[in-house]
Amino acid sequence: MDTQQKTRVREVMSTPLETIAPSASVKEAAQRMREKDISALVVTTGPRSIVTSTDVLDSVAQGQDPTEAVVSDVMTESVETVTPDLYMEEVAAMMTMYEIQHLPVVDDGYVGMISSTDVTAQLS
């Protein structure tokens, strides 16, 4: 294994973690993602959930009004997560297997987010 493959999630993950309430509008989620230059937010209640820019686009494409639709209508529930100690090649394998672009990082609670962009930058 070379040194790139030994990189752990904690060294690459995005922090602080950006969150949003499930009752927030889809428009608010889109605005927050644009302001923070990110493409996913962790939803703060219920089972582990995220809302992504793809969820927002799909919602609008399906004709939902982003000022009326709420995050809980479009979020992805029961998402896969990773720990800060996981190696980057394991994260890449998970993203490929589950066909996902974002993984919340959890320890005792949420601690960060890792994206396919982070993985690609690290392993290329």
pLDDT number for residue 48: 87
57: pLDDT strictly greater than 50 = yes
> pLDDT tens for residues 16-53?
889 999 999 999 999 999 999 999 999 987 788 999 99
- What SS3 class is residue 62? coil
Of 105, 118, 110, 123, whose CA–CA distance to 38 is shortest? Answer: 118
- pTM of the predicted model as reported, rounded to 2 decimal places: 0.87
pLDDT number for residue 79: 92
Cβ atoms 55, 41 nearer than 8 A: no
β-sheet bridge partners, residue 41 = 51
Output the DSSP codes for 78-106. Answer: S---B-TTSBHHHHHHHHHHHT-SEEEEE
Mean pLDDT in residue range 92-96: 95
